[in-house]
Structure 1
């Protein structure tokens, strides 16, 4: 049993490496992820600037994380669909459209969170 434990840890550590490699590959190939990355930086900066409360940080972090997850899953769906259906097929197109729709829905939900958290502060800042 003691010998198996280090091997298990190595496998777990390797799985994190694969996950980071996946995020890196998506960042290199998906333009939309660059938009999400820029939005993440802006939201983080605004959060520090306006001094968000802990619960607001939690809401913003969950919204940002959910958008990233949706975009990464969309990227994975597109890759698998392209692999199994290199030629055009209506069902392949529908799968891609639905996956992209999931990203859109999550991004709109994150926008609502952003408006609820940052809206009053930005409005107050603009009104002086």
Structure 2
């Protein structure tokens, strides 16, 4: 089997990434909800009269939520693929992925509140 290198590898990797985003959108309700949140908050960040640094700080955690949700969904998919029976480590992996999303959401809320109200 020949490995893909150079521009072909980059092109294929981009395609796989787009496929992953489409899959998350199709199969994950939380991802769709967080995309909706981003569609609302990111334009608001551009409308607000804040500095460039503050705008970056408003947008970054919103994007991080989406990144963590994709990682969480990937963890859940792999755990579910391995087996349907309960296993403590499988539950722990799913819970930790979910915790990462929760922390990113809390960070988003904190930054938005801090910049807009204080």
Pairwise TM-score range, normalised by the shorter structure: 0.7 to 0.9
Structure 1 gap segments, 5+ residues each = 1-6, 121-128
After superposing on structure 2, the runs of 4+ consecutive aligned residues of structure 1 that deviate more than 4 Å are none
1:21 to 15, 19, 22: 19
Alignment of 1:30-45 (within 5 A): 30-45=28-43
Measured on the aligned residues, the alpha-carbon RMSD in Å equals 1.5
Once the two structures are superposed, what CA deviation does each residue of 1:38-85 show, in whole Å capped at 9, x if it has no partner?
111111232232233211121122211211111011000001111112
> What is the total number of aligned residue pairs between the two structures?
114
Task: Output the CA distance in 2 between the equivalents of 1:118 and 1:37.
Answer: 22
Query: Which residue of structure 2 lines up, in the alignment, with residue 125 of structure 1?
Result: none
Query: Which residue of structure 2 lines up, in the alignment, with residue 85 of structure 1?
Result: 83
Give the greater-gyration-radius structure (CA).
1
**Aligned-pair CA distance for 1:105:** 0.9
Task: Output the CA distance in 1 between the equivalents of 2:116 and 2:26.
Answer: 30
| Alignment of 1:46 onto 2:44 | yes
Task: Output the CA distance in 2 between the equivalents of 1:48 and 1:89.
Answer: 45
